[in-house]
Amino acid sequence: MAKLKMKRVEIVSSIEDSQDLFDFLQRKGVLELHEFEDVEGMSRLSVGATVSQLDKYLGITLATQKTLDKYAPEKKSLLRSLNGAEELSVENYEKRASDADGLLSECMKILSLSKKIDEYSAEIVRLTTLAEGLKPWLSLDVPMQYKGTEKTKAFIGSFQREMTLEQLLSEIAVADDSIETVSADIISSSSDLTCVFILCSNDEEKKTEAALRSIGFVRPPDPTRHVPSVRYGKYLDKIKEAEKNRDECKKKLGEYKDFHRKAEFAADYFTIRRDRYKGLSNIAIDDKLMAMSGYVPEVYCEKLKKQVEQKYTAAMEIYEPEEDEDVPVLLKNRRFGGAIESVTEMYSLPGKDDVDPNPVMAIFYYVFFGIMLSDAGYGLLMVIAMIIAKAKFKLTAKMKKTTDMFLYCGISTVFWGAMFGSWFGDIVKVVAVNFFGVAEESFPSLALWFEPVVDPMRMMLYSFLFGIIHLFAGLGVRFYMLWKSGKKLDAFCDVLPVYLLVTGVAPIGANVIDATIMPPIALTVGKYLALAGAVLVVLTSGRSSKNIFGKLFGGLYGLYNTGAGYLGDILSYSRLLALGLSTGVIATVINMLATMPSNKAVKLIMLIVVFPLGHGVNIAVNLIGTYVHTNRLQYVEFFSKFYEGGGRSFTPLKINTKYYSIKED
């Protein structure tokens, strides 16, 4: 199992059956359409306008969902969101789809209500601002447009600063000391606005006005015809009315609580329609026939052909794709390897010459994950959570793979945690010592193998060893790929010298770190192996060069590259130790903090509080770290040995819905 083999197919059908056939193909979701090459007499459908129209409708349904979430929120249980799409039979779907126009017009009603709410809200803001502007004038008991009596002239206006009556009068006097008849009233005064009412006799109008202007008097931009408080009252009434209207719209929207599922159906419906029309852009038609071509995974070919030809007036031809065709990639693996397909997909799908790395990668992925998280208690929690998720929820295929991945990772974590003797850090020991009076020194290690915290050097050496095995596996895949494509010499030249060199240098390197662990024979053998490897690297890595100097320098450069590259790669696996230590030590610290008090009862209460909190945070942080670093080891160290990537993902014409799924009978 690996990359699915793809076949190129051509389907021709009668024009009468074409609609039904196309719907059928979309429901099947195994055909990736390609533009049908131009044939004389056949034309292409122009679907651009329809697609953009459908996109618009889809946008309306999505906006409706957002509006409803805001004004008529629905209690969404976590259960439902995990449970995936509701299943509909084809018949049922079509029955509901016939009312799509009705749903759309409901959606538009909802949107227009929400638009009205927005408009009323804006109106309220505007009116409130106006009313606020009137507030300083409220104690004026004549209209703001008041001009004065028969013999007097009135000036109603403001200064952009704080002012007292005395100040005002004296400033007028300073500006023009010939004015005699002026009288003034301060209507209101604040730090940046002083509203005033000033009266003068008719014959001094011009003088007064000039004086007032010179000290900064301005008339109001919108003087009222009524007494200000009347207009203020009108504003308040209008605000009330707008609020009432707005609330009414909100109430109407609130009644749409049951419309959520319908809006979701509409969204799904328009998604299906849009995808269908996008697909239709690839087909060719004339007045009798419809023709299309594309890719179908080989495993589905025969069944599809049978169904197409039996149900419809149609014919399907299956071809082997040409060598240079851009064939799409679809991965299919057994459960164990398939669970980590998403990890590979995140990097890049396998290219044309690549093999599917998942089956080889899977075991390393789970092992490394386990070593880095390295706590059996945490692993156990993962396993339990994943088993519950699997039992309780109807998961989508993608979610299933993710739960599988964390299930296997969890199992591996339990295994390695037990090997290293870490169950929620050292909780067993802590409880035994603190509550049952066991002497700390006499408590045995729980490790089935050894504790990395006690002997980190040993763990580091093992990390390197696991790394070397991982890298060798990657090289092995490279060997297989080269061999299979007929480059047998290259297969040997690329892989064998590195095997020899690394196998030879490894015991010598280990001896540098710890002089006691390697038997002398390993060192001697290592020396010769390394030498042989180095010579082979020098001899082989310059082989593409034409002249002898090129070969020699290419060889020496290759030796440097191989040496430095593999050294860096192997050292990178020290993160297995580092992340494992980080989980374990912090778990230990949490346990220690939890049992700090000396009183046993207080200690117990502390433990009950601190234990779940502390370990909860530690699991969360370390899960992310472990996931990231496990991925990194695959991407950088493993994939660089053989993997090209760059494959194009298989994107069939299919039903790409979010909320409902349609079951083909």
Partner 1 sequence: MGDYLGTALAVLGAVLAAALAGCGSAIGVGIVGQAGAGLVSEDPSKFGKALILQILPGTQGLYGFLTAFLLLTRIHVIGGDFSPITTSTGLMYFFACLPMAIAGFVSALYQAKAAAAGVGIIAKKPEESGKAITFSAMVETYAVLALLISVLAIFSISGIVG
CA distance linking residue 608 with residue 604, whole number of Å: 6
Site mask for partner 1 (CB under 8 A), range 480-509, x = bound: ------------------------------
Judged by CB under 8 A, the stretch of 31-39, 240-248, 409-417, 577-585 that binds partner 1 is: 577-585
Closer by beta carbon to partner 1, 282 or else 631 = 631
- Phi then psi for residue 186, to 5 deg, are -90, 120
DSSP string, 570-605: HHHTTHHHHHHHHHHHHHHHHHHHHT-SSSHHHHHH
Q: Does 189 interact with partner 1 (rule: CB under 8 A)?
A: no
Residue 155 contacts residue 208 (beta carbons within 8 Å): yes
Cβ proximity to partner 1, 346 vs 608, nearer residue: 346
* Residue of 565, 621, 648, 663 interacting with partner 1 (CB under 8 A): 621
User: Which of 589, 605, 608, 613 is close enough to bind partner 1 by CB under 8 A?
Assistant: 589
Report the Cα 283 to chain-centroid distance in Å.
Answer: 34
Q: Three-state DSSP class for 620?
A: helix
Give the residue among 129, 145, 156 at the shortest CA–CA distance from 223: 145
Single-letter amino acid, residue 499:
Y
Task: Give the rounded distance of the alpha carbon of 312 from its chain centre.
Answer: 42
**Residue with token string 């601190």:** 610
Minimum Å gap between C-beta 193 and partner 1 is 35
The least distance separating partner 1 from the CB of residue 404, rounded to whole angstroms, comes to: 18
579 binds partner 1 (CB under 8 A): yes
Residue 497 has which token pair? 């010298």
For tokens 């007494």, name the residue: 227
- Residue 172 vs 510, nearer CB to partner 1: 510
| Side-chain-side CA neighbours of residue 304 (13 Å) | 26
* CB < 8 Å & 24+ apart, contacts of 86-91: 86/659, 86/660, 86/661, 87/660, 87/661, 87/662, 87/663, 88/660, 88/661, 88/662, 88/663, 89/662, 89/663, 89/665, 90/27, 90/662, 90/663, 90/664, 90/665
Q: How many residues does the chain have?
A: 665
Minimum gap (Å) between residue 350 Cβ and partner 1:
17
- What's the closest the beta carbon of residue 654 comes to partner 1, in angstroms? 17
For residue 258, the number of C-alpha atoms closer than 13 Å in the C-beta half-sphere is 1
Nearest to partner 1 of 317, 514 (CB atom): 514
Which H, E and C letters describe 441-484, residue by residue? CCCCCCCCCCCCCCCHHHHHHHHHHHHHHHHHHHHHHHHHHHHH
What is the Cα–Cα distance from 210 to 226, expressed in whole angstroms? 27
Of 318-347, binders to partner 1 (CB under 8 A) are 346
Give the total of residues touching partner 1 (CB under 8 A).
25
> Which of residues 262 and 575 has its CB atom nearest to partner 1 in the complex?
575
629 makes contact with partner 1 (CB under 8 A): yes
Select the span of 52-60, 76-84, 495-503, 619-627 touching partner 1 (CB under 8 A).
Answer: 619-627
Stretch that binds partner 1, among 93-101, 359-367, 420-428, 617-625 (CB under 8 A): 617-625
CA-CA-CA-CA torsion sign (91, 93, 97, 102): positive
Residue 471 CA, chain-centre distance (Å), reads 31
- Interface residue with partner 1 among 140, 272, 340, 586 (CB under 8 A) is 586
| Residue 29 found at the interface with partner 1 (CB under 8 A) | no
Q: How far is the CB of 578 from partner 1 (least distance, A)?
A: 5
Task: Select 18 or 344, whichever has its Cβ closest to partner 1.
Answer: 344
Q: Which of residues 448-477 bind partner 1 (CB under 8 A)?
A: 456-457, 460
Q: If binding is defined by CB under 8 A, does position 624 make contact with partner 1? A: yes
Rounded to a whole number of angstroms, the minimum distance from the CB of residue 602 to partner 1 is 19
Please report whether residue 363 would count as binding partner 1 according to CB under 8 A. no
628 binds partner 1 (CB under 8 A): yes
Q: Which is nearer to partner 1, 602 or 624 (CB)?
A: 624
532 is written with which tokens?
């042989």
Closest separation in Å from C-beta 96 to partner 1: 27
591 near partner 1, judged by CB under 8 A:
no
Contacts of 638 (CB under 8 A, 6+ apart): 357, 361, 364, 470, 471, 473, 474
Looking up tokens 């200064």 gives 159
* Candidate list 635, 645, 656, 659; residue touching partner 1; CB under 8 A: 635
Secondary structure of 200-215 in HEC code, one letter for each residue:
EEHHHHHHHHHHHHHC
Comparing CA positions, the residue from 577, 500, 487 lying closest to residue 533 is: 500
Whole-angstrom distance, CA of residue 529 vs CA of residue 507: 11
CB of 42 to partner 1, least distance (A): 36
Note whether 511 and 459 are within 8 A (CB). Answer: no
**Shortest distance, CB of residue 622 to partner 1, whole angstroms?**
9
Q: What share of the chain is helix, strand, coil (3-state, %, to 5)?
A: 65, 10, 25
Quick note: the x/- pattern for partner 1 over 529-568, rule CB under 8 A, is ----------------------------------------
Stretch that binds partner 1, among 82-90, 332-340, 482-490, 573-581 (CB under 8 A): 573-581
Residue type, 132: E
- Does residue number 574 form part of the binding site for partner 1 (CB under 8 A)? yes
Considering only 116, 161, 278, 632, the residue that binds partner 1 (CB under 8 A) is 632
Asked if 577 interacts with partner 1 (CB under 8 A), we say yes
- Locate all alpha helices (DSSP H) within 255-340, ordered by sequence: 259-280, 298-311, 335-338
Query: Shortest gap between Cβ of 617 and partner 1 (angstroms)?
Result: 10
Told to check if 572 binds partner 1 by CB under 8 A, we report yes
Per-position x/- string for 285-314, each x denoting binding to partner 1 as judged by CB under 8 A, each - no binding = ------------------------------
Give residues 223-252 in contact with partner 1 (rule: CB under 8 A).
none
Closest to partner 1 by CB, 272 vs 623, is 623
Tell how far CA 158 is from the center of its chain: 57
- Closest approach of partner 1 to the CB of residue 646, in Å: 14
Query: Phi-psi bin for 421: left (phi > 0), alpha (psi -120 to 50), beta?
Result: left
Position among 562, 582, 595, 657 found at the interface with partner 1 (CB under 8 A)? 582
Contact footprint for partner 1 (CB under 8 A) = 346, 456-457, 460, 571-572, 574-575, 577-579, 581-582, 585-586, 589, 621, 624-625, 628-629, 631-632, 635-636
